[in-house]
Amino acid sequence: MNVAVQPRRPVETGVPDPFLYMHPVLKKNYGNWAWHDRLRPGVLHHVSKTGEEVWTVRAGTQRQMDVYTIRLLCDIGDRFAEGHVRFTTRSNIEFMLSSVDKVEPLIAALENNGFPVGGTGNSVSMISHTQGWLHCDIPGTDASGVVKSLMDMMHHEFTHEEMPNRVRITTSCCQINCGGQGDISINVQYTKPPKINHDLVSKVCERPAVVARCPVAAIRPAMVNGVPSLEVDEKKCVCCGACYPPCPPMQINGADSTKIAVWVGGKHSNARSKPTFHKLVVANLPNNAPRWPEVEAVVKKILYAYKEHGRDYERLGEWIERIGWPRFFELCDFAFTKHHLDTWTGARKTMNMSAHVRF
Amino acid sequence: MNVAVQPRRPVETGVPDPFLYMHPVLKKNYGNWAWHDRLRPGVLHHVSKTGEEVWTVRAGTQRQMDVYTIRLLCDIGDRFAEGHVRFTTRSNIEFMLSSVDKVEPLIAALENNGFPVGGTGNSVSMISHTQGWLHCDIPGTDASGVVKSLMDMMHHEFTHEEMPNRVRITTSCCQINCGGQGDISINVQYTKPPKINHDLVSKVCERPAVVARCPVAAIRPAMVNGVPSLEVDEKKCVCCGACYPPCPPMQINGADSTKIAVWVGGKHSNARSKPTFHKLVVANLPNNAPRWPEVEAVVKKILYAYKEHGRDYERLGEWIERIGWPRFFELCDFAFTKHHLDTWTGARKTMNMSAHVRF
Amino acid sequence: MSHDEAKGASTPKDKHPTPLLDELETGPWPSFVTGLKRLRDSGDKQYAPMMNDLLGQLEHSYENRLGYWKGGTVSVFGYGGGVIPRFSEVADKFPASKEFHTLRVQPPAGFHYTTDLLRQMCDIWEKHGSGLIAFHGQSGDIMFQGCSTENVQKAFDDLNEIGFDLGGAGPALRTSMSCVGHARCEMSCYDEVRAHRTVINEFLDEMHRPALPYKFKFKFSGCGNDCVNAIHRADFAVIGTWRDDMKVDQEEVKKYVARVGRKYAIDHVIAMCPTRALSLNDDDTLDVDNRSCVRCMHCLNVMTKALSPGDDRGASILIGGKRALKVGDLMGTMIVPFMKLDTEEDFEKLKEFGRSLLEFFADNALEHERIGETMDRIGLPAFIEALGIDPDPNMVNHPRTSCFVRTDDFTAEAEKYFERKLHKDARAAAE
Amino acid sequence: MSHDEAKGASTPKDKHPTPLLDELETGPWPSFVTGLKRLRDSGDKQYAPMMNDLLGQLEHSYENRLGYWKGGTVSVFGYGGGVIPRFSEVADKFPASKEFHTLRVQPPAGFHYTTDLLRQMCDIWEKHGSGLIAFHGQSGDIMFQGCSTENVQKAFDDLNEIGFDLGGAGPALRTSMSCVGHARCEMSCYDEVRAHRTVINEFLDEMHRPALPYKFKFKFSGCGNDCVNAIHRADFAVIGTWRDDMKVDQEEVKKYVARVGRKYAIDHVIAMCPTRALSLNDDDTLDVDNRSCVRCMHCLNVMTKALSPGDDRGASILIGGKRALKVGDLMGTMIVPFMKLDTEEDFEKLKEFGRSLLEFFADNALEHERIGETMDRIGLPAFIEALGIDPDPNMVNHPRTSCFVRTDDFTAEAEKYFERKLHKDARAAAE
Ligand code: SRM
Ligand code: SRM
Ligand code: SRM
Ligand code: SRM
Ligand code: SF4
Ligand code: SF4
Ligand code: SF4
Ligand code: SF4
Ligand code: SF4
Ligand code: SF4
Ligand code: SF4
Ligand code: SF4
């Protein structure tokens, strides 16, 4: 194993204590907040039970930040925002202010430096993204590039609160889906079984482990031109890509296989409806770097159909549940195909076993 | 085959034409009704688009009727109800009247002869029952006796409309469940694997067919003391009784095995919520003929908890969905056990995968 | 018949004592036991001894809490089904009821009778049977219960003479049911009698000569209230619905709100709409978002005067309902969201669709497999493909959530969809 | 940094041309490409050449639409995990970035920083790494991306010196996240920072020395809004809730209704309550049926001034969330409906429950099986029995609908329940 040589023992400090860094007003009123509202897109206003107030300005970042960008944000934070910041679950940066006067100057400084202010309330927030070509060992596409392209398109929706409810988008650069569920999810969807380099399999793969990884038992050990390798039953294979990480010679990626699918209606919050998984809308979109225009077009359709027809507080999936999937496909002019009918475990429970019907 | 000898060929008439027997006002306004209301429990009032009206009086019967009872109903029908009747999905009899004046005399005649008038609207209607000991070849209990006992108990609720919504009860005398789903269902629930009479199996059972019938593949062919028979893996067996009809020597019934379970929340209509299956409430109740007091007690608890706490138009299951299962078990003082956690196909989808919780 | 009367008449010497059954003669609900005893006590009737032994065997069941019937084969000339044979396992003790078969007889669609017809049936059953009749069995048959093997044919012949035919049993097309519907219900969206008779009478051969993999049931309800439990209990459920806007009489709406009060109306109608398609305006009129309405029937059920189905009526068809045996309960799944049911041709189409289902079932189901099980086994996409039905979002609660699927032909499938849409719109424009 | 600036500085002779990546410098959103170029263009910095080749490899990926990293093993002294090793498959073309490892570093609970702290991190990463940092990865780590094998230990030592520790990777306890909660949110029902630190810091050994069957994630959200996506994305989700009645300020309710109007309030609050637990009185005050309220948070979210959680606060615990791999997506299942989180003892209990889960996981999960998969494999009854947890109706949407179960011990199980109830009521009375 490739261990660096110094003998220094780590101090296993674990999760750092945030109170060392927390904004004083937050610290002072920790666990004692009364209510909040929003001054404008990107600005939260929280009032504590003692009446103390704090204003939070939220701005977008590229997540994958160079030290110059980070220092620039620090400079702004020092000049206008009392030297305390936090990052959100979605890689937005937040500046806390103990007085409202600094809100506008701070916003100006951020915008002048190219940081969009918004992402609050019923806006489109930053896409939660993953690694892709920049760093991962199994990516089908890049994440940073997809996110940049889409956020450019949705800039207005990040800086304004004009959606029925928040829109939380996720993207995943392979079918493992580190990005999770989203109101809209843009995920790699493989369309072909893996192509096997039989010469390498026995060298680099633990064959029993790979066989065990397949969800449909489509992989079986086999001798291929004299060497022990693995075979895939292409009738069974659901192109999930699970065999690729433990066995790179089972190449799942390729121009004919690495496509992008768009899903909608994933939800994490328990507000109103229970959390839900996202559902397939369009598959087989080209992996068209550097700007994925076909994906952008699909996301745009969904976003603006929701913006136009959704009711206040309805999340994207809840809106569709109300108006119905037939209407949704119609409004977005998407095709409903046999692939939209679920075939996985528990599929029966996804069918309409009722006379509830829409026209 | 045991065919009677006459050579008469059947006239394959199929489904008889009801217009030969239909009440004239119904026939005249066929497909042309405008609205309806209810005069009182047991009495429907329908008005057609031409303004013509018909009053329907509904009365309970024992379903399993002797010719004397049927003729008695015919006499009443002739004397007070224009000689036309119909039976409902639930074996209630309906008398149609072209004028309201005859309603009260008809009701009096029915009640004097022991036929309860009611079963309409938000009442408890007749239990849809099955055959049992009276006629079936695989029964665990009797149906007519269970129904009679419960309808005696619920007589007031049949003749009054005091429930939040209709209550439709079903009963089944073996786990095959010919009775279907119900707001409340009283079904035989076997608690032991079948006891096998190995001497008879090969004589009377088509062994491969029986093996194929088992939902959990618990049955395997085996030689038992010299003769070919069938064996049951008791660890796997879910005591469903499916093997008994095709193979009577696999006796599923017995004092220790034939118990009664009560289920709630089955619903067929699409009103508001989609149709639902009923859910387990209490199992292992004794098969206590002739009056099943333990079953009666459980049904009574459920019925009156619903009556007291349900809101207008909520079906029993919808009421529980609103107040929550924790509260329901509490109100009825029933035990919630591991057996209430589903373990069958798709069980995962019955679990609470959300933070929605009730206290 | 008050129960004292009955008691009075019962249990002299030659009669089996029935202490347990006697307990079922008390209480206000009509007693089947009292009825059985009256048959037993009709000394002049051929069935009296049979019913005495029947009561004896039933009491024996109540004592031991076990059933004592076994099956067998009995049928009428020309038919393979429709009779449920019952032979007693305790015939030694109760010889007169050693044979106690049931004839399943199809009722008039919608269960309409004249007293005259009922009397004829009683007479026939008094002559050949036990005098015990059930209106109706759970599948809708009139069950003439308790007949000797010898009399089965006679009883059938007499019933057949007055225009009645046997129903289904075994691996066959089963007796069907339809709700009262058009005959007495303003919710009804199609002619149930016509649909019921058109379909079933077309396939009588499948009913009378069982040759299917397993049972197959049609049921017909005129609207989503599903008064014949079709979705749960039929392989093929026909449920009335409408495509256009529901009809709203705003004056009647106002009257309703005035009568029950705003809060009540909001809590019991507006807030109970499953898709929030309703909104009460401040002037107490009703806003209906008809595109979101799922035809659940609730608001129409509550405001029968104010609301009613639209004019463009027809039915949805759901496939695959059944009870628990083997795979667990299945409900019907929406397969045809809308089929117009108006003209001769419309009903032809319904019949032909029924035929394609029965043929698919006969060809593809395993032995003793219901069509709902077949559907689950092969999956919905394969099922509709085999039937030549196009995918429709109404078939599902929502599209797939699982990414485990091979979608390399997605684009081709999408093309098909857009072509269909083009044609549809063209047709619509043409109309 | 306007993108012209960046452009200005870019692509002299010695630099890899990046025509495709350049297209990602246009548009209003901050460009990661521009950032990478600034690092490349910092001629004086050790990482400049590395970032030039990194951009070269990335452009190569954009051309061929393929990734070129492979894994390996790199770690720091004393630890088995926390570093994601990346070795280039095209090192021949891009030698300077042949090693591009990531250090996963645990953030302060709630992601709070001072600008001073951030500057220190930048300095360390300028010294030993690529200058590229992500705030944060989807599991919550600060990702210091781009480090040579040689420098991994140095970078870690410096970070460790300022109080930071590595996070999780591999079959191990993973880095956790907690929402801002108590620090700036009125919805918060427990002290997220305390819960997060108490639990994770107790099990650091499982994080630093991977020995579990597979990954295990804790996530902490202060209420049902679940701002850290715990239910979908954690094996062990802690979600704040309350047991008593929510707090209602009727005056604020009236103000709200006055502001938005009745119809709007009814359609957007009353009708949107999932359990119809709300009703608007005719005087514009609010009726709350607290026993039916499922703590979904909607009405509190809408009327932040009028409504707030009750006083008897704590958390629900859901087990088994994960993404799609192998079995398909799983959400966490409600296993502990309520755990008080107040006193020292309460947090001890939470910690001990975490321990029992980790031990159960270590002992019972198959290799590469998430605990949610284990739960599915053995079934919920067996799962809670193994953990010594009593069945609770809050665990399910509804009780079983399947009759395929052996219930001969039902009565015994019921007894247990009633005994527990007795004790509970006794305790309640005592309090
Ligand atoms: C800062 C942050 C927590 C953190 O620790 O970083 C946060 C902060 C707040 N969330 Fe959140 N949420 C944050 C991520 C989330 C997430 C997770 C995510 O986006 O990945 C969710 C789940 C989303 C989902 O369901 O898929 C989330 C679902 C909510 C909801 C539920 C909304 C709904 O109706 O479904 C609320 C309630 C509301 O908006 O009134 C909420 C409410 C809030 C409030 C209003 C809580 C409060 O009283 O302060 C905070 C301001 C919200 C706003 O932006 O206006 N927060 N919130 C996260 C900001 C992310 C971002 O930069 O965009
Ligand atoms: C870096 C990160 C994406 C990002 O850019 O933010 C990431 C990156 C990887 N994930 Fe992930 N996962 C990351 C958060 C997640 C999440 C989200 C979360 O934790 O909330 C999930 C979904 C939730 C879950 O745990 O299921 C996730 C589900 C997976 C899975 C599928 C696990 C499953 O059981 O379904 C794998 C595959 C595996 O573990 O074998 C995986 C595997 C990987 C690997 C290690 C690929 C591999 O097997 O070699 C990726 C390394 C990329 C790299 O080079 O850095 N990653 N991964 C996230 C971790 C950063 C951090 O530590 O903060
Ligand atoms: C007569 C009958 C049809 C028949 O062809 O025989 C019938 C007749 C009517 N039903 Fe029904 N239903 C009949 C069985 C059913 C069944 C099936 C069953 O009970 O086995 C159901 C499904 C029950 C279930 O969901 O499990 C049924 C669910 C309804 C509903 C839905 C109620 C709901 O809110 O869920 C309505 C709507 C209503 O009550 O306003 C309805 C409404 C009606 C109306 C009001 C229709 C009308 O406008 O005339 C009729 C009078 C109802 C009443 O009793 O007040 N009918 N109705 C059946 C009488 C059975 C009986 O004697 O009790
Ligand atoms: C008579 C009747 C109950 C009653 O008293 O009303 C009945 C009685 C029997 N049913 Fe049934 N079923 C009756 C309606 C039903 C229904 C309800 C319905 O049709 O709406 C169902 C549920 C719906 C369904 O079809 O699943 C039903 C589901 C079954 C099943 C389970 C089928 C399944 O796939 O789950 C069986 C077992 C079998 O077919 O092997 C069954 C089998 C039987 C047998 C033939 C038992 C046997 O296998 O020997 C019973 C004969 C009893 C007898 O001696 O008369 N019976 N059976 C009903 C038929 C009367 C009629 O023709 O009108
Ligand atoms: S989604 Fe796939 S490619 Fe992207 S970071 Fe996760 S594992 Fe890597
Ligand atoms: S891609 Fe998935 S389904 Fe296909 S062989 Fe690999 S693991 Fe199996
Ligand atoms: S439920 Fe069972 S016992 Fe009763 S009639 Fe049906 S098959 Fe026979
Ligand atoms: S009772 Fe059911 S589970 Fe048990 S052996 Fe028979 S068929 Fe199989
Ligand atoms: S199903 Fe509909 S149409 Fe038929 S009787 Fe019931 S309510 Fe009327
Ligand atoms: S019929 Fe049902 S879904 Fe349609 S508006 Fe009325 S209540 Fe809503
Ligand atoms: S999860 Fe709840 S407590 Fe935590 S930040 Fe979000 S709203 Fe506030
Ligand atoms: S919190 Fe949710 S469930 Fe509870 S009352 Fe408010 S909206 Fe209804």
pLDDT digits (tens, 9 = 90+) for A259-306: 999 999 999 999 999 999 999 999 999 999 999 999 999 999 999 999
DSSP B338: G
Q: What average pLDDT does the segment C368-384 reach? A: 96
B323 contacts D291 by C-beta, under 8 angstroms: yes
Band (pLDDT 50/70/90 cuts) for residue C429 is confident
Contact C187, C222 (CB under 8 A): yes
pTM of the model: 0.96
Predicted confidence (pLDDT) per residue in A188-231, tens digit: 999 999 999 999 999 999 999 999 999 999 999 999 989 999 99
- Which residues does chain D have with pLDDT short of 50? 1-12
The C-alpha atoms of residue D5 and residue D26 are separated, in whole angstroms, by: 12
Q: What does the DSSP 8-state code read for residue A101?
A: G
Contacts of A353 (CB under 8 A, 6+ apart): B274, B275, C231, C318, C331, C332, C333, C334
Give which of B119, B25, B112, B23 is closest to B75, Cα–Cα. B112
Q: What is the pLDDT of residue B342?
A: 97
pLDDT recorded at residue D61: 98
Q: Are D70 and D86 in contact (CB under 8 A)?
A: yes
Give the β-pairing of D101-105 and D83-84. Answer: antiparallel
Q: Are D175 and D203 in contact (CB under 8 A)?
A: no
Radius of gyration of chain B (CA): 24
Rg (CA), chain A: 24
Please tell me the predicted confidence (pLDDT) of residue A155.
98
Q: Which run of H or E residues covers position C131?
A: strand C129-135
User: Tokens at residue D233, please?
Assistant: 């994305």
Contact across the interface for C402 and D276, Cβ inside 8 Å = no
For chain D, give the secondary structure using H, E and C.
Answer: CCHHHHHHHCCCCCCCCCHHHHHHHCCCCCCHHHHHHHHHCCCCCCCHHHHHHHHHHHHHHHHHCCCCEECCCEECCCCCCCEECCEECCCCCCHHHCECEEEEECCCCCCEEEHHHHHHHHHHHHHHEEEEEEECCCCCCEEEEEECHHHHHHHHHHHHHCCCCECCCCCCECCCEECCHHHCCCCCCCCHHHHHHHHHHHCHHHHHCCCCCCCECEEEECCCCCCCCHHHHCCEEEEEEECCCCEECHHHHHHHHHHHCHHHHHHHCHHHCCCCCEEECCCCCEEECCCCCCCCCHHHHHCCCCEECCCCEEEEEEECCECCCCCCCECCEEEEEEEECCCHHHHHHHHHHHHHHHHHHHHHCCCCCCHHHHHHHHCHHHHHHHHCCCCCHHHECCCCCCCCCCCCCHHHHHHHHHHHHHHHHHHHHHC
Which tokens sit at D418?
Answer: 């009633």
Rg (CA), chain C: 26
Greatest Cα pair distance, chain D, in angstroms, is 84
* Alpha carbon distance C414, C110 (integer Å): 44
Token pair of A340 as six digits: 């939209």
Q: How far apart are CA A230 and CA A248, in angstroms?
A: 12
State chain A's maximal CA–CA distance in angstroms: 78
If you average pLDDT over residues B4-18, what whole number do you get?
Answer: 87
The verdict on the CB of residue B188 being under 6 Å from ligand 7 is no
Tell me how far CA of residue C213 lies from CA of B75, B208, B247, C379, C382, in angstroms. 45, 16, 19, 19, 19
pLDDT at D11: 42
Contact of B284 with B191, CB cutoff 8 Å:
yes
pLDDT on residue A3: 52
Pairwise CA distance, residues C288 & C282, whole Å? 14
The closest of B24, B42, B163 to B97, measured between CA atoms, is: B24
Interatomic CA distance for residues D96 and D60, integer angstroms = 15
- What's the pLDDT at C3? 41
Mean pLDDT across A23-29: 98
Rounded CA gap, B313 and C313, in Å?
26
Amino acid at C274: P
Q: Which of A121, A124, A147 has the alpha carbon at shortest distance from A56?
A: A121
Angstroms from C189 CA to nearest CA on chain A: 13
% residues pLDDT > 70 (chain B): 98
Beta-carbon separation of C280 and D266 below 8 A: yes
The pair of structure tokens assigned to B247 is: 């193979």
Chain D neighbours (≥3 Cβ pairs under 8 A) are A, B, C
Whether the per-residue pLDDT at A4 is higher than 60: the answer is: no
According to the 3-state scheme, what is the secondary structure of C211-258?
CCCCCECEEEECCCCCCCCHHHHCCEEEEEEECCCCEECHHHHHHHHH
E-assigned strand segments in chain A: 2-3, 33-40, 43-48, 53-59, 64-66, 84-87, 93-97, 169-172, 184-190, 195-196, 219-224, 227-232, 250-251, 258-264, 279-285
Q: Is the pLDDT of residue C9 over 90?
A: no
Is it true that the peptide bond before D85 is cis, omega within 30 degrees of 0?
A: no
Please give the mean pLDDT across all residues of chain C: 95
Measured distance CA(D16)–CA(D19) in Å, rounded: 9
Q: What is the pLDDT of residue D13?
A: 55
Distance D220 CA to ligand 11 centre (A): 10
Q: Is C274 on the interface with B (CB under 8 A)?
A: yes
Cβ neighbour number for residue C431 with a 10 Å cutoff: 5
Touching A (3+ Cβ pairs <8 A), the chains are: B, C, D
Residues B60-75: pLDDT tens digits? 999 999 999 999 999 9
Q: What angle do CA A145, A149, A152 make, to 5 degrees?
A: 135
- Cα C66 to Cα D271: distance, rounded to the nearest angstrom: 52
CB A77 within 8 A of CB A84: yes
Distance CA B3, CA C90 (A): 23
User: Mean pLDDT, to the nearest integer, of C252-270?
Assistant: 96
Type of residue at C147: C
User: Quick one: pLDDT band at residue C428, thresholds 50, 70, 90?
Assistant: confident
Chain B residue closest in CA terms to D331: B353
Check CB contact of D116 with chain B, cutoff 8 Å: no
All residues of chain B having their beta carbon less than 8 Å from the beta carbon of residue C239 are 270
pLDDT score recorded for residue D6:
40
**Atom 5 (ligand 10): residue with closest C-alpha?**
C293
- Look up tokens 């509804």; give the residue: D398
CA distance B157 to chain D (A): 27
User: Which residues of chain D neighbour B175 with C-beta distances below 8 Å?
Assistant: 403
Ligand 7: which residue has its CA nearest to atom 4? B173
Q: How far is CA C69 from CA B2, B148, D159, in A?
A: 17, 22, 83
Judged by DSSP in three states, A122 sits in coil
Instruction: Count Cβ atoms below 10 Å from residue C419 Cβ, excluding itself.
Output: 10
Structure tokens at D311: 């006083």
Detail the DSSP E strand segments found in A75-136. 84-87, 93-97
Give yes or no for a contact between A130 and D138, defined as CB atoms under 8 angstroms apart: yes
Q: Is C429 on the interface with D (CB under 8 A)?
A: no
pLDDT of B7 reads 76
| Mean pLDDT, residues C422-427 taken together | 91
Closest C-alpha to B76, from B37, B120, B129, B112: B112
Q: Which of C292, C381, C396 sits opposite A350 (nearest CB)?
A: C396
- Lowest-confidence pick of B343-347, C228-232, D19-23, D106-110: B343-347
Pocket test for ligand 1, best of A63, A269, A311 (most atoms within 8 A of CB): A269
Length of chain A: 359
Structure tokens at D360: 């159960």
Q: Which pair of tokens denotes residue B30?
A: 């066929």
